């Protein structure tokens, strides 16, 4: 019969005290020698860290989705309601210079003096509305512009010129069309030329509303 004084296995030592077996852990050598169960505080901290990671991932995901939606809406608005354009060429100097960026608004009603973008031969041109449907337009050799036999004031130009003109005056603007000219009268090719002529409603892209670049020159366009 085995002696009850000391019974050993590879993990623990057993003692018989007052008829009861007392098991005391032995020090276990090897790669698991330092193993210990985490404390309650450590478990709580780990649970909090995992919960934070999950919340953080959800926040990032929802933020990305939100930015995608905002970008899509912005593109839709910019395309359908407020197109953005960069000025190319010098025909609208000094009012607009090459490289300026402007915001347009879709508008079915134009007034004399409005800056307007319209399509022509797969390009977008920007000119100033001089004559409305039904107006009578005349330009003399010095570049003075008359609308309905009245000389118009043009503070936005630096020099008057007849420019590239091969239409006959007086010219009556047809219904649903507009007579447009660039502010750089000497070089602008516009409604004074039969190449472009009067601009129809179907060609209109929008009225210039705001210049947003350069930032130092940001302004509302009257």
Decide if 123 is catalytic. no
Q: CA-CA distance, 121 to 103, in Å (whole number)? A: 22
Least confident interval from 47-61, 125-139, 199-213: 47-61
Residues with Cβ within 8 Å of residue 171, at least 6 apart in sequence:
131, 136, 137, 138, 179
Q: CA-CA distance, 180 to 87, in Å (whole number)? A: 17
How many other C-beta atoms can be found within 10 angstroms of the C-beta atom of residue 207? Answer: 19
Q: Domain locations in the chain? A: 31-80, 84-220
**What pLDDT score does 8 carry?**
45
Catalytic: which of 8, 20, 121, 127? Answer: 127
> Given pLDDT bands bounded at 50, 70 and 90, which one contains residue 19?
low
**What pLDDT score does 26 carry?**
53
Q: What percent of the chain shows pLDDT beyond 90?
A: 59
| CATH entry, 84-220, from 2.10.109.10, 3.40.30.10, 1.10.287.3510, 1.10.1740.10 | 2.10.109.10
Residue with tokens 């990032």: 60
pLDDT digits (tens, 9 = 90+) for 135-152: 999 999 999 999 999 999
Decide if 91 is catalytic. yes
**What pLDDT score does 13 carry?**
53
The residues facing 167 across adjacent strands are none
pLDDT digits (tens, 9 = 90+) for 77-93: 666 667 899 999 999 99
Catalytic: which of 8, 57, 62, 91? Answer: 91
Mean pLDDT score across all residues of the chain: 84
Residue 135 backbone zone (phi > 0: left; psi -120 to 50: alpha; other: beta) = beta
SS3 41: helix
Residue with the larger pLDDT of the pair 76 and 173 = 173
The residues facing 219 across adjacent strands are 211
**What pLDDT score does 22 carry?**
56
Mean pLDDT to the nearest integer, 100-125: 92
Mean pLDDT to the nearest integer, 108-114: 90
Mean pLDDT to the nearest integer, 164-191: 96
pTM above 0.85, yes or no: no
> With 80 as the cut, is the pLDDT of residue 33 above it?
no
**What pLDDT score does 45 carry?**
82
Mean pLDDT to the nearest integer, 46-60: 83
């Amino acid at each position: 019969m085995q002696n009850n004084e000391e019974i050993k296995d590879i993990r623990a030592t057993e003692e018989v005290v007052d008829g009861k077996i007392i098991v005391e852990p032995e020090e276990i050598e090897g790669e698991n020698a330092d193993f210990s169960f985490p404390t309650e505080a450590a478990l709580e901290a780990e649970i909090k860290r995992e919960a934070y990671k999950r919340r953080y991932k959800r926040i990032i995901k929802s933020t990305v989705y939100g930015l995608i939606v905002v970008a899509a809406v912005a593109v839709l608005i910019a395309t359908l309601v407020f197109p953005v354009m960069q000025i190319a060429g010098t025909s609208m100097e000094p009012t607009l210079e090459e490289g300026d960026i402007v915001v347009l608004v879709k508008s079915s009603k134009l007034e004399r003096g409005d800056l307007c973008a319209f399509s022509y031969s797969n390009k977008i041109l920007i000119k100033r509305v001089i004559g409305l449907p039904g107006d009578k337009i005349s330009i003399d050799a010095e570049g003075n512009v008359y609308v309905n036999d009245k000389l118009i004031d043009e503070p936005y130009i630096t020099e008057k010129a007849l420019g590239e003109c091969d239409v006959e005056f007086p010219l009556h603007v047809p219904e649903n069309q507009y007579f447009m000219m660039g502010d750089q009268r000497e070089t602008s090719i516009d409604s004074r030329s039969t190449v472009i002529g009067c601009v129809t409603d179907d060609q209109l892209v929008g009225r210039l509303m705001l210049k947003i670049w350069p930032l130092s020159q940001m302004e509302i366009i009257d």
